[in-house]
Amino acid sequence: MIKSLDIKLQLLFLATPFILGLTGLAMDLRIAGSKEYKIMIEALQRSACLPFIVTLCGEKTLRARMFVTFMVAGVIKYPKSSIRQGMLDAQDYEQFPPSVRKRIVAASWLNTVAFGWLIIGSYFL
């Protein structure tokens, strides 16, 4: 199906998920390596997910902070489910800084779309 398209469109179809994924990864890297990480950690002090995530991954290296950011993104991305399961405190979610929340959720969606695009695109290639 995709082989009938022009070569430029094929390259665009192939390169787009990598661009989206790298953009999401860069956003997560910026959050994990800046003061936004401390803001994120301080905003989730009452939530049950934070001690579990920090114990599991740690906080000393940038890689560990990236893992914490990924897991917090999953909790923040679906707040109703996370609150129902007891992983996220409702008050923490309401008081979570909107600018950080937007960045975390945007980066998470970029990574999700990129992964889905790669999976679906591999079927068409």
pLDDT tens by residue, 60-93: 899 999 999 999 999 999 999 999 999 999 999 9
Q: Pick out the chain residues at pLDDT < 70.
A: 1-3, 125
Please give the model's pTM, rounded to 2 decimal places: 0.85
For the stretch 79-87, contacts whose Cβ atoms lie closer than 8 Å and that sit 24 or more positions apart, written own/partner, are: 82/49, 86/48, 87/47, 87/48, 87/49
Neighbours of 53 (CB within 10 A): 24
